[in-house]
Amino acid sequence: MTTQTVLAAAGTVSGGEAVTFWILAPLALLGAIGMVAARNAVHSALWLVLTMLCLGVFYVVQAGPFIGLVQIIVYTGAIMMLFLFVLMLVGRGASDSLIETLRGQRIAALVLGIGFAGLVGTGLYRALAGGTVAGLTAANAEGNVQGVARLLFTKYVLAFELTSALLITAAVGAMVLAHVERRREDRMDQVATMKARFRPGNYPGPKPGPGVFATSSSVATPALLPDGRLSERSTPEILPVRELTAEDTTLKGTEK
């Protein structure tokens, strides 16, 4: 790719595209830095969501609506939510442990990361060096969706199937990590479950819903029993009980 070709391609950037880039590029960079710097795994995933959303908008601006929507819907909306679901299943604490279980793992990770970045950069340079910018006109001759689908299911079908297998393996691995095997003595049979349910002090029957026999359907309104008393079991303890007026406490059908 020559310098003249790059300058020619850069000169075709419209005003709206430039404004979009200068607004979203700092946000994407901020999300990437926040993902690496965040101590909480959930916060790190949310920072990555911000970066992925900005990348999706960049794809749409660069005349790639299909890959842009895939970036937002699939990667941001599905895969990242899967990551958050896995984190909640595994039960991460407020902050990850900073104690190294393997000595030298940070140095090894740094060296391997730099080596991997060098390999990717070298591969991209050798693949793009001396090439010319073809643009998306020929690739999108029949439409962007049709062009991407043709590449996915012909030239890159093997990589596409391997990626789907990788995602399924990750989901199965998350379920295996989240599974907790209970001891045989901790398992309760039907007789023990029935005795625990009807033990004195428990409430074996279904609790009345909020607003039952009341003039309001608010979840903070306690239910009224047939004799007119309030049922404390009908409202969660975390909710403040709404103050009832004389009209609310009057039994239905008895107002004058």
CA torsion 99-105-109-111 (nearest 10°) is 130
Greater pLDDT, 214 or 85: 85
Write down the pTM of the prediction: 0.46
The confidence band for 80, taking pLDDT boundaries of 50, 70 and 90, is confident
The confidence band for 239, taking pLDDT boundaries of 50, 70 and 90, is low
Report how far Cα 49 is from the mean position of its chain's Cα atoms. Answer: 8
- pLDDT exceeds 60 at position 94: no
